[in-house]
């Protein structure tokens, strides 16, 4: 059985006090035990947040990490540092990192390697922009992002990754991929995994959907056989909404 995961990407939001209040509200909420919750706060708050989540089943991750091990890389935070403050997950290649920080697949592959070698779980994100979908090029784009970002990994390594499909045109726009569009792409991603690693490995990897996922549409999205949960942006900033999404599995 694949893990059902609901992950909250807080992006560059919340003051220190607001961030602590948010995690405390999430930690105090009740949700289906079989669902794994992960929060991705801004890195500066992670140390304090992991102390709060230590007595819960909630996991913590960061939104970005360096592809380098250590040394003279001003402004960067390494995966071993992240691990040492209690985080276990890291987003890799979120579309905002690809777009605003020009992150390319080869650099993202290095980040994945660095995280795995430090014992963290990468959540590798992929997604097409609107033009690519309109041009009916979306399957090629996703194939390329997946192949170049994670297909150098061996069977064991890929099973320590989570994938997230986030159509860029649906992120923060209020436009959600239809349930059918989400399932179609998730099924395609899983078929790539089957081809490369075989059915057993492909069946064990969680693929999350992201892009304007909210309490009103989560149930339909999560009802799809290849959608194993969500990577939630805006709605993860309100504890009630985040928990309502976590309680949306059938």
Site residues, ligand PGA (CB under 6 A): 9, 166, 171-172, 210-213, 231-235
- 186 catalytic? Reply is no
- 94 catalytic? Reply is yes
Q: How many helices (H) and strands (E) does the chain have?
A: 12, 8
Which of 202, 218 has the CB closer to ligand PGA? 218
Residue 22: which of 240, 248, 172 has the closest Cα? 240
d(CA 227, CA 44): 31
For residue 41, the number of C-alpha atoms closer than 13 Å in the C-beta half-sphere is: 29
d(CA 73, CA 92): 18
**Active-site residue, from 94, 96, 128, 132:** 94
Q: Are 52 and 23 in contact (CB under 8 A)?
A: yes
**Active-site residue, from 96, 128, 132, 166:** 166
Residue nearest to ligand PGA (CB): 233
For residue 180, what is the DSSP state? H
The sign of the dihedral angle between the CA atoms of 96, 107, 133, 198 is negative
Which of 169, 197 has the CB closer to ligand PGA? 169
Furthest-apart CA atoms within the chain: distance in Å = 49
Q: What is the smallest separation between the CB atom of 74 and ligand PGA, expressed in angstroms?
A: 27
Q: What is the smallest separation between the CB atom of 84 and ligand PGA, expressed in angstroms?
A: 26
Which of 1, 12 has the CB closer to ligand PGA? 12
Which of 149, 233 has the CB closer to ligand PGA? 233
Q: What is the smallest separation between the CB atom of 69 and ligand PGA, expressed in angstroms?
A: 27
How many Å separate Cα 83 from the centre of its chain? 17
Q: What is the smallest separation between the CB atom of 70 and ligand PGA, expressed in angstroms?
A: 29
* Residues known to be catalytic: 94, 166
């Amino acid at each position: 059985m694949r893990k059902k995961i609901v992950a909250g990407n807080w992006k560059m939001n919340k003051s220190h006090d607001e961030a602590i209040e948010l995690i405390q509200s999430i930690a105090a909420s009740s949700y289906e035990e079989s669902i794994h919750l992960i929060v991705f706060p801004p890195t500066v708050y992670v140390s304090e947040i992991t102390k709060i989540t230590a007595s819960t089943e909630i996991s913590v991750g960061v939104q970005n990490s360096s592809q380098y091990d250590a040394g003279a890389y001003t402004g960067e935070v390494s995966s071993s540092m992240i691990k040492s403050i209690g985080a276990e997950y890291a987003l890799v290649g979120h579309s905002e990192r690809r777009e605003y920080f020009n992150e390319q697949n080869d650099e993202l592959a290095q980040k994945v390697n660095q995280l795995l070698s430090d014992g963290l779980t990468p959540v590798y994100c992929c997604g097409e922009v609107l033009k690519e979908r309109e041009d009916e090029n979306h399957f090629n784009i996703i194939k390329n992002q997946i192949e170049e970002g994670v297909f150098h990994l061996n069977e064991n390594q890929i099973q320590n990754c989570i994938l997230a499909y986030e159509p860029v045109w649906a992120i923060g726009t209020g436009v959600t991929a239809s349930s059918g569009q989400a399932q179609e792409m998730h099924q395609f991603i899983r078929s790539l995994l089957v081809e490369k690693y075989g059915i057993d490995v492909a069946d064990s990897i969680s693929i999350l959907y992201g892009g304007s996922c909210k309490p009103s549409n989560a149930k339909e999205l999560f009802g799809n056989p290849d959608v194993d949960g969500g990577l939630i942006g805006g709605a993860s900033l309100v504890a009630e909404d985040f928990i309502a999404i976590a309680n949306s599995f059938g």
